[in-house]
Amino acid sequence: MAQQLLTKVTEALDDKKGQHIEVIDVSGKCSFADHIVIVTGSSNRHVKSLAMEVSMVSKKHGLIPLGIEGMDAGEWVLIDLGDTIVHVMQPNIREFYQLEKLWTVETDT
């Protein structure tokens, strides 16, 4: 179910013109999620629209998001889907925080 939802979420983001969609497998790096999805929206309105689409797709597949943060400002919206965390960000926010680099650092364990 989790992989199917992840596929539906990324397809929905692509359909709504989300930019630079990246899925990062974090299953061996953290205990709170298996995947992190990062996507760029071109404006506040686009970020909010992408986040709402993720929420609707997850609800359609029987999963109510555990939390949605940042919808008011629309610069960075986080949607917690349990095993999957979705970050929808404007380009300047994504560039500043560089979450991809944070989660793709190799560890010597």
> What's this model's pTM, rounded to 2 decimal places?
0.91
Contact 38, 54 (CB under 8 A): no
Domains along the chain with CATH numbers: 2-104 (3.30.460.10)
How does pLDDT run along the chain (109 residues), one tens digit per residue?
578 889 999 999 999 999 999 999 998 888 889 999 999 999 999 999 999 999 999 999 999 999 999 999 999 999 999 999 999 999 999 999 999 888 776 655 5
What is the β-pairing status of strands 84-89 and 67-69?
unpaired
Long-range pairs for 79-82: beta carbons < 8 A, 24 or more residues apart: 79/51, 79/54, 79/55, 81/5, 81/9, 81/54, 82/2, 82/33
Contact 83, 34 (CB under 8 A): yes
